[in-house]
Amino acid sequence: MSQSAPNTWPYPRIVAHRGGGTLAPENTLAGFDTGARLGLRMAECDAKLSADNVVFLLHDDTVDRTSNGHGAAAAMPYQSIAALDAGAWFSPAFAGESMPTLEAVARRCAERHMAINIEIKPCPGRDTETGRIVAGQAAVLWRDQTAPLLSSFSYAALAAAASAAPNLPRGLLFEAVPPDWREQCASLACVSLHASHRHLSAELVAQVKAAGLYLLAYTVNEPDRARELARWGVDAICTDRIDLIGADFLAS
């Protein structure tokens, strides 16, 4: 499948948070496999740069919480990061999982026929560099798949991504949606707005949709809330509870 044009929305309505939600260690290939086994067709992940500018998956600025290592990711070459165990903290069953490169993730998405939302998650002071490199690699790695949806809380990172890979769709991330969301999204030519479901209302969802934007809500773990958001017109729901809110949840 060739990459989709930026003004289309080829993505499913349920997205697995950080790969496999709460059923697998976050941002690992095992997470993607777990979601795929449950029938999910899209996952979200966090991408950042190692000290030697390898794009790999990690949410935090340090490796401490989700591995047996210690220290700032930005100060570590990827060879050192790859040697860490990123699965045993979650469960002995996942011992030996690593923090994969974006290249490895692209291969797994192709194998599993999964779409992806890549959140650009720069370490402090590396916003522009991270946005440029992540987007540039994503454009190449997913050239024969559904275009990855790029998102970030960092305006600078997403602006750099837009310059590096203008044909990839972009979504600006917010916790609470600010008053100038229209201007920010328009200046980055975003196709979507991503926001915490806790700060969404039916009125705000209607305004976002009226502005011509798609809307992704995170992190929705209660089935009743997911149904409510769908009734309001939310296009995609990112969830940790892929066991409760599965691939066909909103169609049931």
Residue 76 CB-density burial (10 A; 0-12 exposed, 13-18 middle, 19+ buried): buried
Quick one: residue 109, left, alpha or beta (phi over 0 = left, psi -120 to 50 = alpha)? alpha
Q: Which of 17, 70, 194, 197 is catalytic?
A: 17
Q: What is the DSSP letter of 100?
A: -
Q: Which of 59, 113, 194, 197 is catalytic?
A: 59
From CA 27, how far away is CA 38, in angstroms rounded?
17
User: Is 17 noted as a catalytic residue in this protein?
Assistant: yes
Residue 51 CB-density burial (10 A; 0-12 exposed, 13-18 middle, 19+ buried): middle
User: Is 199 noted as a catalytic residue in this protein?
Assistant: no
From CA 16, how far away is CA 245, in angstroms rounded?
9
Which residues are identified as catalytic? Answer: 17, 59
